[in-house]
Structure 1
């Protein structure tokens, strides 16, 4: 521990076998691995990371309110919950990520195939007519029937094929974490878009209310203008304010419509047939959440775990490329029955077999193997830096989200006080205007101050909710009681 920071050295190795099983080949591959040799000496890099002991923006009880698996329910909106659940089952980006898992599993099966012997059944029959020797007449014919098996097996003495399999399995694990990343991103996008729709509704309500208030003042100013107590300038200024407030309505309607279209796309729905009930931000609330400890984040964020799996896969790829420099031993064998007549095919004398072993050693390949090894090491270095970046970014994301949530909560409280004060000032100015004692400049200023303050409050409230969803996303979504292995 130094300066409040724990220095952690993380070594991402051939760190584990996948927790999921490969259908139909698990037991066979286990046997083949037992017959194979060991993977060569490790070149896996150590990852030196600074893991802070706590978050600067966290509270004294970091585990008091950890995010639940269904963290979006904390906003207390039944409509939001139904929208998120629909998106998680229908979103097309999630469907693509699931399809990528199927491909990665299949690729792991392909990579594991060389660890098992290949067996091919053969069967053929021949009938041959032979010409007679010169000076004789007639011809002879003969038949031959052959049924057998051909098998071959590459002894993975140096672990080349096994390392390739482990790399593919790590890629499959990374594909699963990628699905979690996409699911979390989709969930947050649905929540953010829904809040933007509610905010647009609030701002529309405020804008239309401001138009009504400005028109009400305009009616009083016209009455006073007709009575000769105010000037044309005063009337024109109020008419300008009314027009300005009316002009603020169409952009807000546009924003609401565009957010509705975006939300429909997230749910894989046609926007023409999709409508959100909506309402205002008063129907939702920001749930309480604490960030836990930074060290726990490395086991919770799916993008960090994805980067870790990709680094592990690159480590195995380097081992596979190194093992390619060493000799390869190939075993082949044939066995079966061969006879001139089908009836006697399976007799004792018809059985035959052949066994062979071969060894190949690369001598000169135009530096192909060396270039492949250099490429694998370059990919390993890239994966290492990407992993380090993802870890440091995860800490930064949480810190920024904590600060944003704290400050926007404070800003919303202060802005609410501004709105309350501005509303009282406007009410006083309107009452004085009705009594004929108001200064029209003061009335105009109080209107503009109130209208701006109310709209700013709606936007600040949205920023607070977006900061909350950013914190959930930075924490990797919901946390189980026991972290994933």
Structure 2
């Protein structure tokens, strides 16, 4: 009877169908070259986008850096956001298990012993006895054993839709866990690359300051010999001071980046052990996976989270619809009452009560109707938010692709600019030594070289950072690894497998997941 009353076809409200893959969606509006330019410098290799290639689950290993891999592993083991996401997932799954129990009858066992004294007055004893003697007191012990059973058949599918909503909520938390993993791994890699970039910029600046200081020492000696003017010496001192002034902002930025990296690792700032990568020795992946546009919506955790919210909103409409319909409740009480414990098991002491109740709202001034309308509006909101999330996902990939393309062009230009600036400085110094130009020309050439070298270092770091951004935009390959731990699993009661309807809902979710 329970199975018959709980058939999926009896559930009111919309049956959820996953949103279709957006037709005609792509990453670029025109022809896009899958091969980037190259440059004769570290991180200057050409990269090739391989359409349809799967994203590896441990995508950060593409950089071939043991230090980056170690940092990512530490972050995943220690960061509190991972533990919080797993606890949220376990909470959602436990809620699902709790609501699945509504498919079963609920039973309460009561065992009581009462010592009571009453008078015959309540039975008219005072009137029958003499005024002098008054009513007679009765003292007795009552043993009561009772089992109460209640069951609400899922006639219109309210419980089915509630459990369906719970499953969608658990799926939402699962994809939130994947989103947390993805964001954390990408942030760790990006922070490590940014830290390395600042370290390189600081080194370049210090090397140039040392070169400027050496030049200043030469000028001061030549000034003492009367070979150069005081203006030339003062100008070089100004250049040294200007270069020195660029160091504190770089050092501040690196220190703040280090603090952020420590936070990603689950450490306090004073636990910084100085782990760092050298951007000059970092490997730039040559072949980059590029998921097909039709697969992107099945890979991005944020898109999948939005889809589960859409599913949850659809199920909630069914719950609100079922609330407007009558509810059938079956109850039964059975037990025994006796003056002593041994008599509880006599047939003549047994008592029972059976009841059926059909209750529906006769008048509520439109409360249930408007509650259902509110759920319908929430469903429309979830649909719009899903579409917006899909558009943002394609935008993220498109931005990453454009960044990778133009990063390569930028580095190529910056390498050429640095080479030209170095040659210009050599020529200026030679001309100044020959007396054919002013020292202002030398100063300008030195400043141009400093800027060119810093820009080249920044361009190198951008290629690594935007490669990581592409991996993040494509979903990070979470489907190729197992991120869940026992901390995200409910206690092993598993009522779901014992209830056909709940098992069918879970099977539907698993099938949807495997299809991804």
TM-score (normalizing by structure 2): 0.82
Q: Which residue of 2 aligns with 1:382?
A: 381
2:34 equivalent to 1:59: yes
Contact 1:59 1:290 survives alignment (8 Å): no
Give 2:505's aligned residue.
none
**Which residue in 2 is equivalent to 1:107?**
95
Q: Between 440-449 and 189-198, report the one with greater CA deviation.
A: 440-449
- Tell me the equivalent position of 1:36: 6
Of 71, 83, 86, 2:74 maps to 86
What's the RMSD between the two structures over aligned residues?
2.4
1:124 deviates by 1.5
Shift of 1:112: 2.8
Kindly indicate whether the alpha-carbon contact (under 8 Å) linking 1:58 and 1:290 is maintained by their aligned counterparts in 2. Answer: no
Aligned to 2:209: 211
Distance 1:72 1:234 in 2: 50
Alignment of 1:260-299 (within 5 A): 260-287=258-285, 288-299=287-298
Contact 1:101/1:175 (8 A) holds in 2: yes
Other-structure match for 2:56: 68
Q: 1:100 to 1:34 in 2, by over 3 A?
A: farther
SS in 2 for 1:331: strand
Question: 1:298-354 deviations in whole A, cap 9, x for unaligned?
Answer: 111111111111100000001110111111101100112222222221123333322
Any stretches of 5+ residues in structure 2 without a counterpart?
36-48, 482-512
Query: 1:396 Cα shift?
Result: 1.3
Q: Give the unaligned 5+ runs of structure 1.
A: 1-30
Q: Is the 8 A contact 2:334 2:351 kept in 1?
A: yes
* 1:417 aligns to 2:416 (yes or no): yes
For these two proteins, the number of residue pairs brought into alignment is 455
Higher alpha-carbon deviation: 129-138 or 266-275:
129-138
Contact 1:334 1:353 in 2 (8 A): yes
Q: Aligned residue for 2:173? A: 175
After alignment, is 417-426 or 448-457 more displaced?
417-426
Distance 1:481 1:143, change over 3 A: closer
Q: CA deviation at 1:44?
A: 5.4
- Does the CA contact (< 8 Å) of 2:26 and 2:394 recur in 1? no
For 1:312, the equivalent position in structure 2 comes to 311
> Which has the larger displacement, 439-448 or 144-153?
439-448
How far apart, in 2, do the equivalents of 1:276 and 1:68 lie?
Answer: 29
1:141 partner SS: strand
1:119–1:142 Cα change, 3 Å? same
144, 149, 152: which one aligns with 1:146? 144
Following TM superposition, by how much is the alpha carbon of 1:62 offset from its aligned partner in structure 2, in angstroms? 3.7
Deviation at 1:174, TM superposition (A): 0.2
- Per-residue displacement from partner, 1:72-126 (whole Å, max 9, x unpaired)? 0111211111111111111122222122112212322343333222100011123
1:315–1:405 distance in 2 versus 1, CA, 3 Å: same
1:435 is displaced (CA, Å) by 5.9
Q: Choose between structure 1 and 2 for higher RCO, CA contacts under 8 A separated by at least 6 residues.
A: 2
2:118 pairs with 1:120: no
SS in structure 1 opposite 2:11?
A: coil
